[in-house]
Amino acid sequence: MPLNQLWETLHNGVILNERIFNNLAEVQTEVTNLRKTYSGMARNGGGPNFSDAKVREAYALAYHPGHAHAYLQIMLNQGLGDSLIQGLGAQSSVGVLGAGAGAETLAFFSFFANRGFRPDGVTLSLIDQADWAVQRQQCCIAKVQEITGMLPKKIDSFIQDVVSPDALSLLSRFVPSNDLIFCPAIYTELEAKKKGHDFINDVCRLMKSQSKILVIDQAEVNGFAAACVEFAGIPQMRLIHQGNMTLRVPSPPAGSFASTVLDGVPYQNANGRIARTKYHFSWVLLQKN
Ligand SMILES: C[S@@+](CC[C@H](N)C(=O)[O-])C[C@H]1O[C@@H](n2cnc3c(N)ncnc32)[C@H](O)[C@@H]1O
Q: Could you report the per-residue pLDDT of 93-112, keeping only the tens digit for each?
A: 999 999 999 999 999 999 99
The CA–CA distances, whole Å, from 280 to 66, 77, 218, 286 equal 12, 15, 6, 20
Distance, CA 206 to ligand 1 centroid (Å)? Answer: 20
- pLDDT exceeds 50 at position 207: yes
Name the residue with the closest Cα to ligand 1, atom 10.
Answer: 186
Ligand 1 pocket test, pick from 61, 157, 170, 189 with the greatest ligand atom count within 8 Å of Cβ, gives 189
- pLDDT exceeds 90 at position 250: no
Rounded Cα–Cα distance for residues 194 and 43 (Å): 12
Specify the pLDDT at position 270.
Answer: 45
Name the residue with the closest Cα to ligand 1, atom 12.
Answer: 98
Specify the pLDDT at position 262.
Answer: 81
Distance, CA 128 to ligand 1 centroid (Å)? Answer: 6
**pLDDT confidence band for 256 (50 / 70 / 90):** confident
Specify the pLDDT at position 45.
Answer: 63
Ligand 1 pocket test, pick from 10, 61, 186 with the greatest ligand atom count within 8 Å of Cβ, gives 186
Residue 197 and residue 17 in contact, taking contact as beta carbons nearer than 8 Å: no
Query: Which of these, 182, 191, 202, lies nearest to 283 by C-alpha position?
Result: 182
Rounded Cα–Cα distance for residues 203 and 187 (Å): 12
Distance, CA 183 to ligand 1 centroid (Å)? Answer: 9
Distance, CA 49 to ligand 1 centroid (Å)? Answer: 10
Q: Please compute the mean of the pLDDT values over residues 231-257 and round it to a whole number.
A: 92
Name the residue with the closest Cα to ligand 1, atom 14.
Answer: 98
Name the residue with the closest Cα to ligand 1, atom 9.
Answer: 103
pLDDT tens digits for 51-86? Answer: 999 999 999 998 999 999 999 999 999 999 999 999
The CA–CA distances, whole Å, from 275 to 36, 39, 105, 267 equal 11, 10, 24, 5
Q: Where are the alpha helices (DSSP H) in the chain?
A: 2-11, 24-39, 41-44, 53-62, 64-77, 80-85, 103-114, 133-136, 142-148, 167-174, 187-191, 196-206, 224-231, 257-262
Rounded Cα–Cα distance for residues 211 and 87 (Å): 10
- Per DSSP, 221 falls in state S
Ligand 1 pocket test, pick from 74, 124, 128, 274 with the greatest ligand atom count within 8 Å of Cβ, gives 128
Rounded Cα–Cα distance for residues 169 and 274 (Å): 38
Distance, CA 161 to ligand 1 centroid (Å)? Answer: 10
- pLDDT exceeds 50 at position 273: no
Q: Which atom of ligand 1 is nearest to 63's Cα? A: 9
Name the residue with the closest Cα to ligand 1, atom 19.
Answer: 161
All structural domains of the chain, each given as residue ranges with its CATH number in brackets, are 2-288 (3.40.50.150)
Rounded Cα–Cα distance for residues 167 and 120 (Å): 29
pLDDT tens digits for 132-186? Answer: 999 999 999 999 999 999 999 999 999 999 999 999 999 999 999 999 999 999 9
Name the residue with the closest Cα to ligand 1, atom 27.
Answer: 100
Rounded Cα–Cα distance for residues 217 and 226 (Å): 12
Q: Which residues line ligand 1 (CB under 6 A)?
A: 47, 50, 64, 67, 98-100, 103-104, 128-130, 161-163, 184-186, 189-190
pLDDT tens digits for 54-63? Answer: 999 999 998 9
Distance, CA 29 to ligand 1 centroid (Å)? Answer: 21
Q: Please compute the mean of the pLDDT values over residues 40-60 and round it to a whole number.
A: 85
pLDDT, the chain, mean: 91
Q: What are phi and psi of 280, to 5 degrees?
A: -120, 105
